[in-house]
Amino acid sequence: MPFCSAETAAQFSPPAGSWALLAGVVQPKSRGRIRLTGANPRSLIEIEANTLAHPDDMKAAIACVKLCREIGNSAPLRPFGKREVMPGNLKGAALENFIRDAASSYWHQTCTAKMGHDAMSVADGSLKVHGVIIFESLTVPLCRASHPATRWRLAT
């Protein structure tokens, strides 16, 4: 089963041997909220993701779907599939509904590698690892906008 939501799986019934292209909105303008539900510290919190609430985020998501469809239906990928399963040539509100049903959050850990001079450190403050200079997203204290799975590497 390709990566899809319960809603899109029910609507499109993708075959078990399917594959998917995924794209994401980087630096969304939509903002969610986290609220306390009570004074008790053990009370659950209320999370309102507010995903795709800003119109620019939906425009970006539509561009992502169009690009994925273009790539997925391109000549070099034709040998790997018989047909496009989803979303197909949806337009307007139907495409926006598909995007809302298919959307999910994603992340990739960055800035998690220990920096220092002890045995547990991966790099020092100059990003030197055993005499090699490495620039890698796991060692960077501030991550710039990019796809979360992006890795930057530069070695000398």
- Distance CA(58)–CA(79), nearest Å, equals 31
Helix or strand (DSSP H, E) at 127: none
HSE-CB of 10 using CA atoms within 13 angstroms: 5
Q: Give the Cβ contact number of residue 105 at 10 Å.
A: 8
> Which of 122, 121, 110 has the alpha carbon at shortest distance from 151?
110
Q: Three-class SS string for 134-156?
A: ECCCCCCCCCCCCCCCCCCCCEC
108 is catalytic: yes
Report residue 41: phi and psi, to 5°. Answer: -60, -20
Which of 54, 108, 117, 147 is catalytic? The answer is 108
Task: Please identify every residue annotated as catalytic.
Answer: 108
